[in-house]
Amino acid sequence: MLTKSAFFCVFIAASVGQASDNFLGIDKRRLTVGAPLEVDVVGFAVGVHPELLWRPFSEDSGLRLRAASALKLGSEYTLLAPVSLGVRWQTSSVRLVQAELGTGLQWKAFLVPDSGAHQRVDWYWEAGLSARIASAHRVGLMAVPEFGLANITAGGLSGTFGLGLALRVTWSMAL
């Protein structure tokens, strides 16, 4: 089920670029897709973290809603994050260099050999810079501190604490 969810999210992000003026009823000009490479430096893991950003208020707004999905391979586990939901503020996209700040929640599943899936909800923060390399394309770097909030178990949610820090090399394309 987790794998299907991840593929669904990746599929949506990838297929947005091929749609016409609208995607699921949303004006494409308000959408941005991204495909960052990501490295976890707390518990080593490397993978991709495709994302879809939507400006809900106006085309010029700095506020974007973010949906993302991640798959990372580590030395001790495979990390699948089927869904992340959050917000990201970005300075003007007209400028060559753009600053970015974000926050949100992420559903994670640490797939551990001989121990199963350890699922939890993390609270993440984002801080980064990106530079325009073409009219609609940007690349950049981003740091993502993460804090485990709640374990997801068969009995429901239970409070927990966990640390995380991911570093991203970002690429994004405004549609």
Interatomic CA distance for residues 166 and 145, integer angstroms: 6
Beta bridge partners of residue 159, listed in sequence order: 150
Stretch that binds another protein, among 9-17, 23-31, 113-121, 131-139 (CB under 8 A): 113-121
* Interface with another protein: number of residues (CB under 8 A): 33
Contact status: 28 vs another protein (CB under 8 A)? no
- Single residue of 13, 107, 110, 175 touching another protein by CB under 8 A: 110
Question: Taking CB under 8 A as the rule, does residue 105 contact another protein?
Answer: yes
Footprint of another protein on residues 54-93 (CB under 8 A)? 56-57, 65, 75-77, 87
**What's the closest the beta carbon of residue 90 comes to another protein, in angstroms?**
16
Token code pair at residue 164: 């995380």
Q: What is the contact surface with another protein in residues (CB under 8 A)? A: 40-44, 56-57, 65, 75-77, 87, 105, 110, 112-115, 118, 120-121, 123, 148-151, 157, 159-164
